[in-house]
Chain A
Amino acid sequence: MTQQDDELSDKTRSRTRRSRAAAAAQTAPDASAALAESGSTAGPRFHFFLIDSGWNSAAARVIRENIEMITRFQNDDPLFILDQEQSTALMRRHPHLIGKDPILLARDLHARGASGDGEYHGFHLNMGLVKDPVTAVAGLRKFLHLLAVHRHGANIEDVVKEQLHRAGLKGAIEILREGGEAMLG
């Protein structure tokens, strides 16, 4: 092989490498697009909504100050914050919500029967019913903890109902204990 032949073969190899690299570069966005698409098909588990008409209360301040904790601990599931106008308009149409806001509503998009057949699944935390900030923070923590721990579960609603039942039993024990303490003086 002559020197000219060597140079030619080097050029050919280099061209082949370049075309492979170009093909790979073209495939990479396709692959990432496909991955993104498959990811978006799975989608977020929850849509969070914050309904807040602007009450000046301790619980309202707590939720406003800890807003980022919601997305941080919920795998960046989208959080939609209604402004005062939107919240007020919603409450006018649904007066049973008045006095309960700020309301953190988590809509479960993967729950059974949540596929656009008119069924809605999810949870709400009515922070407006909480008087003191410590209880408000505890309530928010518990709510986020519950959703984060059970986010891969098929039916979180059952878990929440079970928790409420357990809380009722716990309450019964507490009442008995308080009663016993009162009787003992």
Chain B
Amino acid sequence: MEQFNHALTTVFGIALLGALGFEISRRRRKLRDLYNVLDAEDKHVVAELDDLVASGRLQPYVAN
């Protein structure tokens, strides 16, 4: 019986830690989606934005 209790506690412990790890990673991913550093995927976007600025098709915003 004692062995069964130990096994059950271990299983619950592992499940709890797993759930905790999953939740932390979910929150961090959500935060990373919201704001993060520019990555390889953004490289081409930034290059296009630079082109727009260099060609004069984008002008700096001037407050009214």
Contact = CB atoms under 8 A, between A and B. Distances in A.
**Bound pair (A, B):** yes
Interface of A: 47, 49-50, 67-68, 71, 78-82, 86, 90, 93-94, 96-97, 100, 105, 107, 118, 120-126, 129-130, 139, 142-143, 157, 160-161, 164, 167-168, 171-172, 175-176
Contact of B53 (A47, A125, A143, A168): A47
Contact of B28 (A67, A86, A171): A171
A44 to B, nearest CB: 10
Interface of B: 20, 23-24, 27-28, 31-38, 41-50, 52-53, 57-61, 63
A105 B42 CA distance: 10
16 contacts: A47-B49, A47-B53, A68-B63, A78-B61, A80-B59, A86-B57, A118-B43, A120-B46, A121-B37, A124-B35, A126-B34, A139-B34, A139-B35, A161-B37, A167-B31, A168-B31
Contacts of A164: 28, 31-32, 36
Nearest to B23: A175
Contacts of A167: 27-28, 31
B7 to A, nearest CB: 21
A160 B41 contact: no
Contacts of A71: 61, 63
A80 B52 contact: yes
Contacts of A125: 34-35
B20 A175 contact: yes
Nearest to A44: B60
Q: Which of A120, A123, A142 has the most CB of B within 10 A?
A: A120
A124 B35 CA distance: 5
A100 B37 CA distance: 15
B45 to A, nearest CB: 5
Given A93-B48, A105-B49, A82 B58 contact: yes
B15 to A, nearest CB: 13
Contacts of A100: 33
Contacts of B44: 94
B58 A80 contact: yes
